[in-house]
């Protein structure tokens, strides 16, 4: 594998860090908050810095970032400033993409999502993986597609079919690494690129997030290695589900701190219920984030999702 080192230096790298990186598209619900609390516990229990990053390259809601920070602080979560906004780092992402392109590590892709799903694939290719349609287009073929008004996305040209990461809760996990998108056809840096660049730049060596993102870790770790960075340690924690065993969302009703307060549940009550779900408190016991930090043992965390119910 060819290693490409791209400089993405940021300040405040005096010691390693963990992080929580919400999208400021609305108020955080219990599932989001529980993952944030776990990310904080993992980081603080290992003497890491804890950072907040707003992943605001997609849809955002005015004031959502401030409300999210208020709710995190209410739980007892603290972090080192500054809060980083991805929308402030577009030039950095562009520089990384340009560097990859200069070494032949990218190609333009004109495929629609439907075309990718309907394209014939090799027998070993996982469902939905990019089949390589535009990987070997000639200059004339690319020019023809541009002339037809189809703006291209930029994909990474990979040299591996899969990559293995080690997760603290799931062990070794191997996942597909196709030629994934690093810049969308509207010019927006893709999540898989931005998260890798930012984690490396901020000195983040521990990533704790929901286990619905486990399948994306091999692509991100592969890209980190390609850029000359050491992939972070991962801990993909169980999700919070509704009574139908579907990932909790605000559509499920009273799931934010504000909603729950209207039903008589204080922030302390919510923290305590989270603690019970994590096996770190007895039912009815009142605990704080500081209490949980003293009790925290990653090896004892449940591996099953939490079915959230108000009653």
Q: Is 245 annotated as a binding residue?
A: no
Rounded to the nearest 5 degrees, what angle is found at the Cα of 79, between the Cα atoms of 76 and 82?
Answer: 145
Write out the two tokens for 205.
Answer: 């060596």
Q: Is 300 annotated as a binding residue?
A: no
Of the pLDDT bands very low, low, confident and very high (cuts 50, 70, 90), residue 41 is: very high
Q: Is 216 annotated as a binding residue?
A: no
Q: Is 23 annotated as a binding residue?
A: yes
Q: Is 234 annotated as a binding residue?
A: no
Residue 109, SS3 per DSSP:
strand
Q: Which residues pair with 154 in a beta bridge?
A: 108, 183
Instruction: Report the pLDDT value the prediction gives residue 124, as an integer from 0 to 100.
Output: 60
On the question of pLDDT at 12 being above 50, the answer is no
Average pLDDT of the chain to the nearest whole number: 92
Q: How do 306-307 and 240-241 pair as beta strands?
A: parallel
Task: Please write the tens of the pLDDT for every residue from 96-124.
Answer: 999 999 999 999 999 988 888 887 765 56
Write out the two tokens for 171.
Answer: 């062990």
Q: Is 111 annotated as a binding residue?
A: yes
DSSP string, 134-185: TTT--HHHHHHHHHTT-PPEEEE--S-SEEEEEETTTEEEEEE--S-EEE-T
Specify the higher pLDDT residue, 239 or 124: 239
Of the pLDDT bands very low, low, confident and very high (cuts 50, 70, 90), residue 8 is: very low
- Phi/psi of residue 128, each to 5°? 85, -10
Tell me the C-alpha distance between 163 and 77, whole Å.
33
Q: Is 230 annotated as a binding residue?
A: no
Q: Is 109 annotated as a binding residue?
A: yes
Instruction: Report the pLDDT value the prediction gives residue 11, as an integer from 0 to 100.
Output: 45
Asked if 64 and 72 touch (Cβ cutoff 8 Å), the reply is no
On the question of pLDDT at 78 being above 70, the answer is yes
CA distances (Å), 45 to each of 125, 292, 293, in order? 40, 10, 7
Instruction: Report the pLDDT value the prediction gives residue 123, as an integer from 0 to 100.
Output: 55
Asked if 206 and 16 touch (Cβ cutoff 8 Å), the reply is yes
Instruction: Report the pLDDT value the prediction gives residue 121, as an integer from 0 to 100.
Output: 64
Tell me the C-alpha distance between 167 and 235, whole Å.
5
Q: Is 130 annotated as a binding residue?
A: yes
Residue 283, SS3 per DSSP:
coil
Of the candidates 168, 287, 310, which has an alpha carbon nearest to the alpha carbon of residue 279? 287
Of the pLDDT bands very low, low, confident and very high (cuts 50, 70, 90), residue 7 is: very low
- The percentage of residues in the chain with a pLDDT greater than 70, rounded to a whole number, is 93
User: Looking at residues 68-95, what average pLDDT do you find?
Assistant: 98
* Residue 66 buriedness (CB in 10 A; 0-12 / 13-18 / 19+): exposed
* 150 contact partners, CB below 8 Å, separation of at least 6: 110, 185
Q: Is 134 annotated as a binding residue?
A: yes
Instruction: Report the pLDDT value the prediction gives residue 173, as an integer from 0 to 100.
Output: 98
User: CB neighbours (10 Å) of residue 81?
Assistant: 8
Instruction: Report the pLDDT value the prediction gives residue 9, as an integer from 0 to 100.
Output: 41
Task: Please write the tens of the pLDDT for every residue from 163-174.
Answer: 999 999 999 999
CA distance from start to end of the chain:
54
Specify the higher pLDDT residue, 173 or 244: 173
* 246 contact partners, CB below 8 Å, separation of at least 6: none
Task: Please write the tens of the pLDDT for every residue from 118-161.
Answer: 877 655 667 678 999 999 999 999 999 999 998 999 999 999 99
Specify the higher pLDDT residue, 38 or 251: 38
CA distances (Å), 135 to each of 132, 157, 297, in order? 5, 8, 46
- Structural domains in the chain, CATH included, are 1-255 (3.40.50.620)
User: Looking at residues 55-63, what average pLDDT do you find?
Assistant: 96
Q: Is 222 annotated as a binding residue?
A: no
Q: Which residues pair with 153 in a beta bridge?
A: 109
Tell me the C-alpha distance between 116 and 127, whole Å.
10
Instruction: Report the pLDDT value the prediction gives residue 254, as an integer from 0 to 100.
Output: 79
User: Looking at residues 211-221, what average pLDDT do you find?
Assistant: 97
On the question of pLDDT at 199 being above 90, the answer is yes
Of the pLDDT bands very low, low, confident and very high (cuts 50, 70, 90), residue 6 is: very low
């Amino acid at each position: 594998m060819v290693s490409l080192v791209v400089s993405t230096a940021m300040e405040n790298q005096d010691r390693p860090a963990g992080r929580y990186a919400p999208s400021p598209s609305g108020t955080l619900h219990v599932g989001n908050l529980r993952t944030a609390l776990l990310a904080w516990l993992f980081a603080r229990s290992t003497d890491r810095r804890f950072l907040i990053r707003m992943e605001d390259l997609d849809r955002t809601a005015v004031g959502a970032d401030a409300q999210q920070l208020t709710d995190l602080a209410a739980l007892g979560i603290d972090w080192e400033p500054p809060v980083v906004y991805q929308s402030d780092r577009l030039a950095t992402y562009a520089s990384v993409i340009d560097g990859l392109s200069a070494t032949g590590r990218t190609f333009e892709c004109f495929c629609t999502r439907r075309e990718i799903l309907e394209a014939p694939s090799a027998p070993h290719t996982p469902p939905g993986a990019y089949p390589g349609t535009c990987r070997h287009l000639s200059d004339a073929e690319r020019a023809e597609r541009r002339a037809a008004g189809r703006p291209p996305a930029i994909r990474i040209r990979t040299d591996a079919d899969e990559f293995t990461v080690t997760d603290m809760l799931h062990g070794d996990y191997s996942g597909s690494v196709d030629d994934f998108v690093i810049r969308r056809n509207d010019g927006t840096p893709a999540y898989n690129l931005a998260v890798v660049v930012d984690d490396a730049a901020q000195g983040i060596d521990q990533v704790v997030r929901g286990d619905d993102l486990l399948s994306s870790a091999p692509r991100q770790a592969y890209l980190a290695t390609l850029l000359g960075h050491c992939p972070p340690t991962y801990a993909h924690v169980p999700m919070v589900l509704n009574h139908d065993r579907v990932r909790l969302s605000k559509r499920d009703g009273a799931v934010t701190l504000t909603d729950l307060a209207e039903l008589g549940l204080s922030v302390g009550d919510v923290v305590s219920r989270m603690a019970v779900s994590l096996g770190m408190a007895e039912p009815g016991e009142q605990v704080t984030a500081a209490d949980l930090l003293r009790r925290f043992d990653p090896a004892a965390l449940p591996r099953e999702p939490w079915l959230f119910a108000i009653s």
